[in-house]
Amino acid sequence: MRGGGAEAKPQVGDGMTEKTPRSRATDKKPRPASQPSKRAKLLLLSSAKGGSTKTTTARNLAVAAAHSGLRVATIDLDLQASLTHWWHKRPDDAPTITHFQVPIEASEAALDEAVGTDGLDIIIVDTPPGVENHPAAMRGIIRRADFVLMPTSQGGPDLDSVIEWSKTVKREGRPSAFLLSRTKRTAKSFNEAKQRLIKFGALCPFDVRDLEEIQRTHYNGLGILEVRGAAGCDDFAGVWNYVARELGLEG
């Protein structure tokens, strides 16, 4: 397999640039014209700190969704564009993931347009660190989300940050859950982190371990579920099954 991405199309809407990959064999058949289009579900990956694995989680859940037969789009709101760089490395014969790179200042109109795009089942949004520096934009994004997943490590400062951020999400009335990521399950802090987070909101019942195989998927455009025999497949399979149920996309 060789990596690569298609050329960008002209801008769509307010600042949203769409890059649509070549059609691949795993695409679903188009919906019949007589069937009413359904609104795509919007999954938001959000936490205040950098290094909380938002991008790692976004790309691996996108891959899991694509392999489950859903039509998937990812949106990168981060100026560092890590998710975009990963998408450009995606192999030609991998399941299709449509990708948009959008400046956070233009995100609300872009998200409205993306959610209304016919033929998509789920849109996964990756947010930048320092989201508290864009309060108005982030409130608008959160309001549009069907579910907000808030990744965090089990370290104390990361927990403080994500718990504080969860209060913003709750004020907007959106369903959400914490996700423990880059975990070390044998450490005492792992169970302490679970006990602490569950006091402040829902906690995904599956965690994602701190594994080299998962981190290396950034370099080859793959998700861990596409790496045969890799450790971490069960971790993300479990997280995806949980998120799919919360979004009503299971089965």
The pLDDT tens digits for 32-49 are 444 555 789 999 999 988
Q: What is the pLDDT of residue 35?
A: 52
Q: What would the mean pLDDT of 51-60 be, rounded to a whole number? A: 94
Asked, for residue 8, whether it belongs to a domain, the answer is: no
Asked, for residue 98, whether it belongs to a domain, the answer is: yes
Asked, for residue 209, whether it belongs to a domain, the answer is: yes
Asked, for residue 31, whether it belongs to a domain, the answer is: no
Mean pLDDT lowest among 1-10, 54-63, 79-88, 240-249: 1-10
With a cut of 50, say whether residue 119 has pLDDT above it.
Answer: yes
More confident residue, 84 or 16: 84
Q: Are 170 and 176 in contact (CB under 8 A)?
A: yes
Asked, for residue 138, whether it belongs to a domain, the answer is: yes
Tokens matching residue 153: 């490590």
Band (116; pLDDT cuts 50, 70, 90) = confident
Q: 162 is in which domain, residue-wise? A: 38-247
The per-residue pLDDT for range 65-86, each reduced to its tens digit, is 999 999 999 999 998 999 999 9
Asked, for residue 10, whether it belongs to a domain, the answer is: no
pTM greater than 0.75 (yes/no): yes
Three-state SS for the chain is CCECCCCCCCEECCCEEEECCCCCCCCCCCCCCCCCCCCCEEEEECCCCCCCCHHHHHHHHHHHHHHCCCCEEEEECCCCCHHHHHHHCCECCCCCEEEEECCHHHHHHHHHHHHCCCCCCEEEEECCCCHHHCHHHHHHHHHHCCEEEEEECCCHHHHHHHHHHHHHHHHCCCCEEEEEEEECCCCHHHHHHHHHHCCCCCECCCCEECCHHHHHHHHCCCCHHHCCCCCCHHHHHHHHHHHHHHHCCCC
With a cut of 50, say whether residue 210 has pLDDT above it.
Answer: yes
Q: Are 82 and 55 in contact (CB under 8 A)?
A: yes
Asked, for residue 164, whether it belongs to a domain, the answer is: yes
Q: For residues 2 and 16, give the distance between their C-alpha atoms in angstroms, rounded to a whole number.
A: 27
Query: What values do phi and psi take at 128, rounded to 5?
Result: -80, 165
Q: What is the pLDDT of residue 233?
A: 97
Asked, for residue 95, whether it belongs to a domain, the answer is: yes
Q: Are 156 and 196 in contact (CB under 8 A)?
A: no
The per-residue pLDDT for range 147-191, each reduced to its tens digit, is 999 999 999 999 999 999 999 999 999 999 999 999 999 999 999
Q: Are 132 and 48 in contact (CB under 8 A)?
A: yes
Band (9; pLDDT cuts 50, 70, 90) = very low
Tell me how many domains the chain contains.
1
With a cut of 60, say whether residue 55 has pLDDT above it.
Answer: yes
With a cut of 50, say whether residue 2 has pLDDT above it.
Answer: no
Q: What is the pLDDT of residue 128?
A: 86
Q: For residues 211 and 86, give the distance between their C-alpha atoms in angstroms, rounded to a whole number.
A: 18
Q: What is the CATH number of the domain that holds 83?
A: 3.40.50.300
Q: What is the pLDDT of residue 130?
A: 75
**Mean pLDDT score of the chain, rounded to an integer?**
85
